[in-house]
């Protein structure tokens, strides 16, 4: 089969030719899934030159239509050849067939027409204007563990957090299990501190609220009243985490902001705790190579084409002070960041306004998270991996109020 | 059962070719455990097995097999306790001798008796019976020179011979790697059968993750002279090939974690 595609307004018009049979079905569905990945959610299949359609071909079509419907898109087959037309009618899929192009289809290709079109869309959602931040647990590497410094937190639907801790388990010593976690709308994703272990997750359900024993926690409660959608346009093919964080700070005009990003990954850079800090008997500076037993490093830009759920806090800084909880960016001026990313298999989402809650609900119904990373910037000359970058997605954000400035800024 | 303590072996020390093949390797293997040893090329798998078998003396460390401290035993003396099968199907047998002669030799391993003692009919029956368990029809060819057999048949016989006297430890170094896939699968199956039936303690180096997952009770992964992963009991039970692949990747990435990465983490890990 051969495909030729034209962008026309919100539509992608695909001219297909050849036989859609078992030999071409996989190629067909992967081509169309790639269109969806690129943000084309309204597809017109011009099928006048599709000479044959087998049951395997119909299965491929069903798959494609399913993926499109999952992102609230649309799919129509235009000017089908008589064979295709007949086959679809007999198999009960005539609803896909349209005699002609939709009325709102622009005559011209729209592809290269709007060179200055912004890669960003901003939306205002409901909710209070700012969240309150608390820092109930303040461990920093590599302080001695003291169970008195643990703080137990129950996370509900309005909670967002990142930090180091362990799920509440009555029968086990939490100190052995201190690992990194993030919380988005009460959904907790936690990475046990053992290399190779899969992240675990705890979801608030009815009366059950996930509880974590936290050694370190940046915790805020409230709404994410703003939404930023980003997608590649023109030469702009990816978005750096720092760039998105800066945008969030600019848009809120706040000194401190929190954000959730749900996006297709270009490449993540980060590390994870692989040995519980609960084992630290005294304050330590852990030199190389011993540090390799405590932290893993990704080594390359990881998880391209997968999906990231990120929670982060960003700040412009305060009077040139350093922060024990926010890392000073080496690639962006006046930016301080702390972000954790959970990695999931790729999951496309609809364009435009979208509720964070509906995204997380869909996400946790699917396959489990594959990894959790503490994101870092690697600006080593020549060998550096750079910062984490994303391709397209959504960023919900809010300004942050806090009365714990003394804790955040040393 | 087998206790390896703080084993070190460096080849060509002090030269440009210096290789630290074993670095502080410690390992305890329980009686009856079938351990698979996997790892990248040159990670020290064969060196570990050779050290246990006594092919060379380690630079440092101690090896105990049952109550014996065998660290300073010569290779031939260890052979009375340890059976071995190598990758090359032609290594463990004498091509010119018949199947039964080869086996009769193996039966006398470690014993001080003339090499050419007669094969009594009682011994012959015993040989035929055991060879039959291979289900290769070789019991009808006991008087054929072993050199006339295929690689797979020879490897199956070598395995049978190496385990004949129920060695305290059976060492297999990629013993199916030189065989075609189908024969390799057959020999794997025979390996598992013999080890289970005779309740042998065994270590098997393999490049096949499938073999490691399917056959063994425990999986050890080596990298650059160290044991970097040790999966046993319930961890072994749940492990899949994809998990092992991930561990490989992770371990190889560890090589990229150098001083400069440590500096980044020191700055940025909060
Ligand atoms: N006799 C020797 N002299 C010098 N170097 C050696 C010797 N034997 C092994 N080495 C080196 O020691 C390292 C470990 O070798 P070893 O044979 O144990 O690896 P392996 O894990 O068995 O690899 P493979 O999967 O390729 O068989 C390698 O770098 C190898 O080149
Ligand atoms: Mg080897």
Written in H, E and C, the secondary structure of A330-382 is: CCCCCCEEEEEEEEECCCCCCCCCCCHHHHHHHHHHCCCCCEEEEECCECCCC
Chain B: residue whose CA lies nearest to A324: B270
Q: Does residue A287 lie within any of the structural domains?
A: yes
| CA distance to partner chain B, nearest, from residue A391 (Å) | 24
Q: The domain that contains A85 carries what CATH number?
A: 3.30.750.24
Domains and CATH numbers, chain B: 2-93+167-239 (3.40.50.300)
Domain-ending residue, one of A44, A64, A98: A98
Residue B148 C-alpha to ligand 2 middle, in angstroms? 27
| B25, B48 contact by CB (below 8 A) | yes
- Cα separation, A297 vs B266, in Å, equals 12
Of residues A385, A218, A182, the one with CA closest to residue B256: A385
Residue A357 C-alpha to ligand 2 middle, in angstroms? 53
Three-state SS at B258:
coil
- When CB atoms are compared, the residue of B246, B264, B268 closest to A196 is B246
How would residue B87 be classed by pLDDT, with cut points 50, 70 and 90? very high
| CA distance to partner chain A, nearest, from residue B138 (Å) | 46
Residue A383 forms contact with B (CB below 8 Å): yes
- Are both A159 and A227 inside the same structural domain? yes
pLDDT, tens digit (0-9, with 9 covering 90-100), for B97-145: 999 999 988 888 766 655 555 678 888 999 999 999 999 999 999 999 9
Q: Which domain holds residue A293?
A: 123-408
Domain-ending residue, one of A98, A132, A152: A98
| CA distance to partner chain A, nearest, from residue B260 (Å) | 8
- Ligand nearest to the CA of residue B44, numbered in listed order: 1
Q: Does residue A250 lie within any of the structural domains?
A: yes
In this structure, the residue with its CA closest to atom 16 of ligand 1 is B44
Provide the pLDDT for residue A171.
Answer: 64
In this structure, the residue with its CA closest to atom 18 of ligand 1 is B44
Task: Return the residue in A192, A215, A271 with the most chain B beta carbons within 10 A, the one to mutate for interface testing.
Answer: A271
Task: Return the residue in A270, A292, A314, A324 with the most chain B beta carbons within 10 A, the one to mutate for interface testing.
Answer: A292
Alpha carbons within 13 angstroms on the beta-carbon side of residue A107 total: 0
Phi and psi at residue B219, in whole multiples of 5°? -125, 130
Q: Does residue A281 lie within any of the structural domains?
A: yes
Chain B: residue whose CA lies nearest to A296: B254
Chain B residues whose beta carbon lies within 8 Å of the beta carbon of residue A326: 270
Residue A296 forms contact with B (CB below 8 Å): yes
Alpha-carbon distances of A16 from A22, A31, B151, rounded to whole Å: 16, 11, 53
- Mutate-to-test residue for ligand 1 from B23, B44, B52, B206, highest number of ligand atoms within 8 A of CB: B44
pLDDT, tens digit (0-9, with 9 covering 90-100), for A225-253: 999 999 998 889 999 999 999 999 999 99
- Are both A87 and A148 inside the same structural domain? no
- Mutate-to-test residue for ligand 1 from B8, B20, B41, B47, highest number of ligand atoms within 8 A of CB: B47
A152 sits in which H/E element: strand A151-154
Q: Are strands A239-240 and A159-167 parallel, antiparallel or unpaired?
A: unpaired
Provide the pLDDT for residue B252.
Answer: 87
- Ligand nearest to the CA of residue B37, numbered in listed order: 1
Pocket around ligand 1 at a 6 A CB cut-off: B 11-12, 19, 21, 39, 41-47
A22 sits in which H/E element: helix A22-37
Q: B181 vs A309, which has greater pLDDT?
A: A309
Residue A325 forms contact with B (CB below 8 Å): yes
Count of H-run helices and E-run strands, chain B: 10, 10
CB neighbour list of residue B77: distance below 8 Å, 6 or more residues apart = B54, B70
A257 sits in which H/E element: strand A256-267
- Cα separation, B130 vs A53, in Å, equals 59
Q: Are the Cβ atoms of A292 and B254 closer than 8 angstroms?
A: yes
- Are both A313 and A242 inside the same structural domain? yes
Alpha-carbon distances of B87 from A123, A200, B138, B156, B207, rounded to whole Å: 66, 42, 21, 12, 12
In this structure, the residue with its CA closest to atom 26 of ligand 1 is B41
CB neighbour list of residue A76: distance below 8 Å, 6 or more residues apart = A43, A44, A45, A96, A97, A98, A102
| A363, A309 contact by CB (below 8 A) | yes
Maximum distance among all Cα pairs of chain B, rounded to whole angstroms = 78
CB neighbour list of residue A378: distance below 8 Å, 6 or more residues apart = A269, A384, A385, A386, A387, B261, B264
Domain-ending residue, one of A63, A98, A133: A98
Q: Are the Cβ atoms of A300 and B256 closer than 8 angstroms?
A: yes
- Cα separation, B148 vs B155, in Å, equals 13
Provide the pLDDT for residue A373.
Answer: 98
Q: Are the Cβ atoms of B270 and A338 closer than 8 angstroms?
A: yes
Q: Are strands B218-223 and B226-231 parallel, antiparallel or unpaired?
A: antiparallel
Please count the other Cβ atoms lying within 10 Å of the Cβ belonging to residue A193: 23
Residue B88, both tokens: 């090359």
Residue A93 C-alpha to ligand 2 middle, in angstroms? 59
Q: The domain that contains A142 carries what CATH number?
A: 3.30.1330.80
- Cα separation, A230 vs A316, in Å, equals 22
- Are both A71 and A208 inside the same structural domain? no
**Interface residues from chain B to A (CB-CB < 8 Å):** 229, 243, 246-247, 250, 253-254, 256-262, 264-265, 267-270
How would residue B83 be classed by pLDDT, with cut points 50, 70 and 90? very high
Q: Does residue A12 lie within any of the structural domains?
A: yes
Of all residues in chain A, what percent carry a pLDDT higher than 90?
86
- Cα separation, B45 vs A139, in Å, equals 41
Residue A9 C-alpha to ligand 2 middle, in angstroms? 61
- Are both A37 and A170 inside the same structural domain? no
Q: Does residue A115 lie within any of the structural domains?
A: no
Residue A373, both tokens: 């990373």
| DSSP conformational letter for B251 | H
Provide the pLDDT for residue A112.
Answer: 54
Give the nearest ligand 1 atom to B39 CA: 21
Q: What is the mean pLDDT of chain A?
A: 93
Q: A216 vs A404, which has greater pLDDT?
A: A216
Provide the pLDDT for residue B113.
Answer: 59
- Are both A91 and A178 inside the same structural domain? no
pLDDT surpasses 60 at B168: yes
Residue A300 forms contact with B (CB below 8 Å): yes
- Are both A58 and A194 inside the same structural domain? no
Chain A: residue whose CA lies nearest to B267: A327
Please count the other Cβ atoms lying within 10 Å of the Cβ belonging to residue A273: 22
Provide the pLDDT for residue A279.
Answer: 94
Q: Is A18 exposed, middle or buried (0-12, 13-18, 19+ CB in 10 A)?
A: middle
CB neighbour list of residue B13: distance below 8 Å, 6 or more residues apart = B59
Q: Are the Cβ atoms of B262 and A288 closer than 8 angstroms?
A: yes
Q: Does residue A104 lie within any of the structural domains?
A: no
pLDDT, tens digit (0-9, with 9 covering 90-100), for A4-46: 999 998 999 999 999 999 999 999 999 999 999 999 999 999 9
Provide the pLDDT for residue A217.
Answer: 97
Residue B11 C-alpha to ligand 1 middle, in angstroms? 9
Tokens 């009365």, located at residue = A403
- Cα separation, A53 vs A97, in Å, equals 14
| A124, A226 contact by CB (below 8 A) | yes
How many domains, in total, are found in chain A?
Answer: 2
Please count the other Cβ atoms lying within 10 Å of the Cβ belonging to residue A167: 19
| CA distance to partner chain A, nearest, from residue B27 (Å) | 20
- Are both A48 and A146 inside the same structural domain? no
pLDDT, tens digit (0-9, with 9 covering 90-100), for B204-243: 999 999 999 999 999 999 999 999 999 999 999 999 999 9
| A182, A272 contact by CB (below 8 A) | no
Q: Are the Cβ atoms of B270 and A383 closer than 8 angstroms?
A: no
Q: Are the Cβ atoms of B260 and A296 closer than 8 angstroms?
A: no
- Rounded (5°) CA angle B29-B35-B36: 145
Residue A330, both tokens: 């080496």
Give the nearest ligand 1 atom to B174 CA: 27
| CA distance to partner chain A, nearest, from residue B264 (Å) | 7
Q: Does residue A276 lie within any of the structural domains?
A: yes
Residue A381 forms contact with B (CB below 8 Å): no
Tokens 């993540």, located at residue = A268
**Average pLDDT of the residues in B27-47:** 96
- When CB atoms are compared, the residue of A140, A289, A378 closest to B264 is A378
Of residues B211, B235, B177, the one with CA closest to residue B36: B211
| A326, A408 contact by CB (below 8 A) | yes
Of residues B89, B238, B72, B220, the one with CA closest to residue B149: B89
Count contacts between A and B (CB, < 8 Å): 64
How would residue A114 be classed by pLDDT, with cut points 50, 70 and 90? low
Q: Are strands B19-29 and A327-328 parallel, antiparallel or unpaired?
A: unpaired
- Are both A82 and A136 inside the same structural domain? no
Give the nearest ligand 1 atom to B40 CA: 25
- Are both A294 and A342 inside the same structural domain? yes
How would residue A113 be classed by pLDDT, with cut points 50, 70 and 90? low
**Average pLDDT of the residues in B181-203:** 94
- Cα separation, A13 vs A5, in Å, equals 6
Maximum distance among all Cα pairs of chain A, rounded to whole angstroms = 78
Alpha carbons within 13 angstroms on the beta-carbon side of residue A230 total: 24
CB neighbour list of residue A107: distance below 8 Å, 6 or more residues apart = none
- Are both A83 and A44 inside the same structural domain? yes
- Cα separation, B214 vs B245, in Å, equals 15
Provide the pLDDT for residue B264.
Answer: 94
Q: Does residue A111 lie within any of the structural domains?
A: no
Chain A: residue whose CA lies nearest to B256: A299
- Are both A355 and A395 inside the same structural domain? yes
pLDDT, tens digit (0-9, with 9 covering 90-100), for A343-400: 999 999 999 999 999 999 999 999 999 999 999 999 998 889 999 999 999 999 999 9
Q: Are the Cβ atoms of B270 and A140 closer than 8 angstroms?
A: yes
- Cα separation, A323 vs B37, in Å, equals 46
């Amino acid at each position: 089969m051969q495909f030729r595609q034209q962008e026309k307004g919100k539509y992608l018009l695909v001219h297909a030719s050849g036989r859609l049979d078992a030999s071409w079905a996989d190629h067909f569905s992967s081509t169309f899934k790639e269109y969806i990945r690129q943000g084309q959610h309204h597809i017109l299949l011009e099928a006048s030159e599709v000479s044959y359609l087998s049951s395997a071909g119909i299965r491929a079509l069903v798959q494609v239509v399913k993926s499109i419907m999952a992102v609230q898109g649309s799919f129509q087959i235009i000017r089908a050849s008589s064979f295709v037309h007949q086959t679809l009618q007999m198999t009960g899929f005539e609803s896909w067939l349209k005699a002609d192009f939709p009325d709102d289809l622009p005559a011209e290709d729209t592809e290269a027409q709007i060179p200055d079109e912004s890669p960003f869309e901003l939306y205002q959602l409901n909710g209070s204007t700012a969240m309150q931040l608390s820092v109930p647990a303040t461990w920093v590497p590599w302080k001695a563990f003291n169970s008195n410094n643990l703080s137990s937190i129950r996370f509900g639907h309005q909670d967002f957090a990142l930090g180091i801790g362990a799920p509440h388990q009555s029968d086990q010593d939490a100190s052995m299990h201190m690992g990194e976690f993030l919380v988005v709308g009460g959904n907790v994703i936690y990475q046990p501190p053992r290399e190779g272990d899969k992240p675990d997750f705890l979801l608030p359900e009815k009366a059950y609220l996930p509880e974590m024993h936290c050694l370190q926690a940046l915790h805020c409660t409230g709404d994410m009243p703003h939404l930023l959608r980003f997608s590649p346009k023109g030469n702009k093919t990816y978005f750096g985490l720092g760039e998105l964080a800066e945008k969030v700070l600019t848009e809120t005009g706040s000194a401190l902001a929190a954000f959730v990003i749900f996006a297709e990954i270009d490449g993540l850079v980060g590390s994870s705790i692989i040995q519980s800090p609960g084992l630290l008997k005294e304050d330590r500076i852990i030199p190389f190579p011993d540090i390799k037993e405590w932290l893993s490093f990704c080594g390359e830009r990881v998880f391209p084409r997968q999906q990231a759920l990120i929670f982060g806090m960003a700040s412009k800084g305060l009077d040139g002070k350093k922060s024990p909880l926010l890392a000073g960016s080496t690639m962006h001026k006046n930016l301080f960041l702390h972000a954790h990313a959970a990695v999931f298999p790729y999951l496309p989402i609809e364009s435009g306004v979208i509720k964070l809650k509906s995204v997380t609900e869909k996400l946790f119904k699917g396959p489990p998270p594959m990894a959790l990373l503490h994101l870092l910037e690697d600006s080593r000359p020549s060998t550096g991996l750079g910062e984490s970058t994303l391709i397209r997605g959504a960023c919900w954000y809010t300004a942050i109020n806090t009365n714990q400035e003394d804790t955040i800024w040393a | 059962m087998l206790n390896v303590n703080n084993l070190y072996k460096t080849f060509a020390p002090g030269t440009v070719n210096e290789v630290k093949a074993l670095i502080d390797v410690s390992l305890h293997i329980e009686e009856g455990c079938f351990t698979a040893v996997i790892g990248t090329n040159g990670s020290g798998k064969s060196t570990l097995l050779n050290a246990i078998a006594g092919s060379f003396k380690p630079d440092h460390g101690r090896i105990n097999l049952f109550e014996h401290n065998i660290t300073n035993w010569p290779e031939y003396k260890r052979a009375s306790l340890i059976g071995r099968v190598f990758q090359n199907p032609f290594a463990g047998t004498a091509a010119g001798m018949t199947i039964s002669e080869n086996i009769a030799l193996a039966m006398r391993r470690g014993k001080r008796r003339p090499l050419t003692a007669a094969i009594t009919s009682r011994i012959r029956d015993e040989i035929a019976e055991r060879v039959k368990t291979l289900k290769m029809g070789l019991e009808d060819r006991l008087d054929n020179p072993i050199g006339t057999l295929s690689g797979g048949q020879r490897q199956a016989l070598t395995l049978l011979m190496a385990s004949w006297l129920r060695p305290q430890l059976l060492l297999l170094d990629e013993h199916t790697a030189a065989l075609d896939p189908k024969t390799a699968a057959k020999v794997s199956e025979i390996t598992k059968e013999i080890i289970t039936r005779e309740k042998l303690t065994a270590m098997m180096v393999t490049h096949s993750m499938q073999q490691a997952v399917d056959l063994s009770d425990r999986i050890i992964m080596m990298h650059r002279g160290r044991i970097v992963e040790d999966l046993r009991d319930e961890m072994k039970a749940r492990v899949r090939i994809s998990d092992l692949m991930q561990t490989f990747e992770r371990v190889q990435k560890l090589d990229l974690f150098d001083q400069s990465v440590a500096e980044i983490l020191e700055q940025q890990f909060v």
